[in-house]
Chains A and B, each alone.
Chain A
Amino acid sequence: MYEHLETADPALVESGKLKRVAVDPVSRVEGHGKVTLLLDENNKVQQARLHIVEFRGFEKFIQGRPYWELPVMVQRLCGICPVSHHLAAAKAIDQLVGVDPVNLPPAADKLRRLLHFGQVLQSHALHFFHLSSPDLLFGFESEIGKRSIVAVLTDYPDIGLQGVKLRKYGQEVIRMVSGKRIHGTGAIPGGMNKALTKAECDYLKQDIAQIVIWAEAALQLVTKVHTSNLPYYDDFATIRSKYLSLTKPNGALELYHGGIRVKGEQGETLVDHYDYCTYPELIREEVRSWTYMKFPYLTSLGKTDGWYRVGPLARINNCDFIDTPLAESARVEFKRHSGEAMVHSTLAFHWTRMIELLHCAESIQALLDDPDLLSNDLVAKGEKRHEGIGVIEAPRGTLFHHYQIDENDIVTKANLIVSTTSNNTAMNESVRQVAAEYLSGRELSEPLLNNLEVAIRAYDPCLSCATHAVGKMPLQLELIDAEGKLVDTLIRHSSGEFIHSSA
């Protein structure tokens, strides 16, 4: 739809008449990325790109290491969803010791699910309240000083505090199962290294009823914000796409293990209950020279048409139902609002994220009554294999881990398709949509540029792990004219001080 804006007309670039605007770094996302725009003399956008400018290289440096290190090592990819990497790697190394998901002891399976519900709960809470709520509560072009969790805590203390506590609860679930809030251990080849004790279970039960209530409130908040701003919320950064996710065999929403389902933009089912162990036939990745992030696509549809979206919007769009009652009724209301088979609104990611938050809270509540969590039958054994694939629905979407090992248990090859990678084309398309529909032809200002970040933020991209300092992230905007002369600069220093200078 907006592909023509990926690369500006070379003749125009040659002519030297385009101005370049860079948003670097994109703030309140996980990791480091930048957006560049090329504008002509009338401020019409000729090119818009989201670049990922960092390089991690995990796939390379885990080569040569023993496979049992993988779940603990690769979770260091991220400080927000380490559990998802831990579990995707764990599912892969289960296969290396000959254990398929169906053969995992029930206790291990349920402990991992509990761990993962805690992960998705805390990650979704973090994203919605800490990173995105300032945009949603104060407006996309609000004063920059308002755009942080600190301002939310000042103006909406109840909402801010509930967000912090929701996240804390998810972190506590993780700590009880894996020993630490971030980067614990837990999953080992073929199972888990510890059951929950009764005391740990009781500790988590204390607050779960409150957590469900707060999750419902968060869902009501996002529903109100979205529906009271129609049609803007349905149109902003919106692109029509295909969706990929895991589902349960009965078609229900699934976060830990299932088959791959792909639906087209009209809701038609393109792939269903697909065994993820043959994903290399389903998906390929394309490399483009201007970014470190690859572009995955469905092999059968090719590079141009094969792109798809993953994450909460994909999962809620794709599933037939949710097996927890409150989240299911929220899903029904969500689907009803658009009147289409598929909801394509990019800002609806926030809405679906909160439906999943509620689903996680309800699921944790149900799981905590399951006596299997206390069972010490935790590890299954099998025959060694040389290849293992683990796929999971991470908070940001479908996550693929794929490893090969040699006869000495050493990793020889690794391939990771992280969730954000799958949304690469979509994020770029949304950036181009915003650039074309909302920015093109206007005099650019810092608040206006936040619109680009709002579009990217909706996907909750995990560009990698980065440390965040609230409101202190240094940011520089430069406007360079056709001759390459600096026209305008806006700098935010790490002290929070702004300097605006027109040349």
Chain B
Amino acid sequence: MSGTLCIDGIAVPFSDGQTIIEAARTAGVYIPYLCHRPGYAPYGSCKLCTVKVNGRTNTACTLPAADGQTVISNSPDLQHDRQRITQMLFVEGNHFCPSCEKSGNCQLQAVAYHQNMLDNHYPHFYAQRELDASHPDILIDHDRCIFCNLCVRASKEKDGKEVFGIAGRGIHKRLIVNSPTGKLKDSDISVDDEAAHVCPTGAILVKRSAYLAPIGERIYDHHPISEVACERAVLEAGAATGYPSCDQTKLPQNGGPDSHYAATMPPAPDIKHGR
């Protein structure tokens, strides 16, 4: 099935099998995400991409696009919730951007910038989980893991191995390694595996590659994640000719059938739509 859906007033075409987030991204409309990755099966754990579809709350990375859907992504309520989710991820681990080698190339940091995150909001947990530096080429800093499951899925679905898993629940949730000792050095992972390269934060790192990219040549140095995530050609075309608009009469009032937060929470900062 293919057709057109409407995201924040923009007409977005989709092709058969696309989710809302992929249809949006392909059309140059950015919906923030961390656990999703183009080319990976829908997963839906981080909830950053939560949108309103015909008035109901859904994760854009799991819901198939359908003709005539009306999607609201860039509302103050949703952006506010995204900012809070991002803040929770920061306080739950140890994300010290100033000295982190992933800085400038880090999706979590880029999302935080996009969500205009200026403080932690929540008290810091000061996590202290053990570093696994046992592997000669790969390092795990557990304090930076956000449980997106990308390494788990990459190892299983792309590398044909099962090196990683997530164990425990709630605050006891942790990334585990499938090896007799639980150490990475005793697992099947190789530095060429996709699992070693998909981490959206600095939790799984290739050793001795830190700071090789000078400031100015890192992924997010010149373009925010809202642009990096989309195809450059699509963005340029959109900037040149404008984005196709939906029929305004079909749009609900902004924030119409929206969540109860609107009444109780302070307004989220004004965030430019990711295009």
Residues of A near any B CB (own CB < 8 A) = 64-66, 68-69, 71-73, 76, 178-180, 183-186, 188-189, 193-194, 408-410
Contact = CB atoms under 8 A, between A and B. Distances in A.
B211 A188 contact: yes
Pairs A-B, 6 closest by C-beta atoms: A179-B215, A73-B99, A408-B133, A194-B214, A68-B210, A185-B211
B215 A68 contact: no
Given A69-B99, A408-B133, A410-B131, A185 B215 contact: yes
A69 B212 CA distance: 12
B207 interface: yes
Given A66-B133, A76-B99, A183-B98, A188 B215 contact: no
B214 A193 contact: yes
B57 interface: no
Interface string B109-145: 0000000000000000000000101100001000000
A66 B98 CA distance: 15
Nearest to B96: A73
A72 B211 CA distance: 9
A145 to B, nearest CB: 35
A182 to B, nearest CB: 11
B134 A189 contact: no
A69 B208 contact: no
Given A186-B214, A410-B133, A66 B207 contact: yes
A194 B217 CA distance: 10
Interface of B: 98-99, 101, 131, 133-134, 139, 207-208, 210-217
A76 B98 CA distance: 8
A180 B99 CA distance: 14
Nearest to B132: A408
B216 A179 contact: yes
A179 B131 CA distance: 29
Contacts of B216: 179, 194
Contacts of A185: 211, 214-215
10 contacts: A69-B99, A72-B210, A179-B214, A185-B215, A188-B210, A193-B212, A194-B214, A194-B216, A194-B217, A409-B139
Contacts of A68: 101, 207-208, 210-211
A177 to B, nearest CB: 10
A409 B133 contact: yes
Contacts of B99: 69, 72-73, 76
Nearest to B213: A193
A55 to B, nearest CB: 18
B215 A69 contact: no
Contacts of A180: 215
B207 A178 contact: no
A65 B212 CA distance: 18
Contacts of B214: 179, 185-186, 193-194
A71 B210 CA distance: 11
Contact of A188 (B98, B134, B139, B212): B212
Given A179-B216, A184-B215, A69 B210 contact: yes
Contacts of A65: 131
Contacts of A69: 99, 101, 210
A414 to B, nearest CB: 14
Nearest to A74: B99
A410 B133 CA distance: 7
Given A64-B131, A410-B133, A72 B101 contact: yes
B226 to A, nearest CB: 23
Contacts of B211: 68, 71-72, 185, 188, 193
A136 to B, nearest CB: 35
A185 B211 CA distance: 7
Contacts of A72: 99, 101, 210-211
Contacts of B217: 194
Contact of B208 (A64, A179, A189): A189
A179 B134 CA distance: 32
Contacts of B134: 408
Contacts of B98: 76, 183
Contacts of A183: 98
A179 B212 CA distance: 13
Nearest to B211: A185
Contacts of B139: 66, 409
Nearest to A65: B131
A346 B133 CA distance: 49
Contacts of B210: 66, 68-69, 72, 188
A459 B126 CA distance: 37
A179 B218 CA distance: 11
A66 B208 CA distance: 9
A211 to B, nearest CB: 24
Most buried by B among A179, A183, A189, A409: A179
B7 to A, nearest CB: 36
A71 B99 CA distance: 9
A178 B134 CA distance: 31
A185 B213 CA distance: 9
Contacts of B101: 68-69, 72
Contacts of B133: 66, 408-410
Given A69-B101, A76-B98, A194-B216, 14 more contacts: A68-B101, A69-B99, A71-B211, A72-B211, A76-B99, A179-B215, A179-B216, A183-B98, A193-B212, A408-B134, A409-B139, A409-B208, A410-B131, A410-B133
Contacts of A194: 214, 216-217
A115 to B, nearest CB: 12
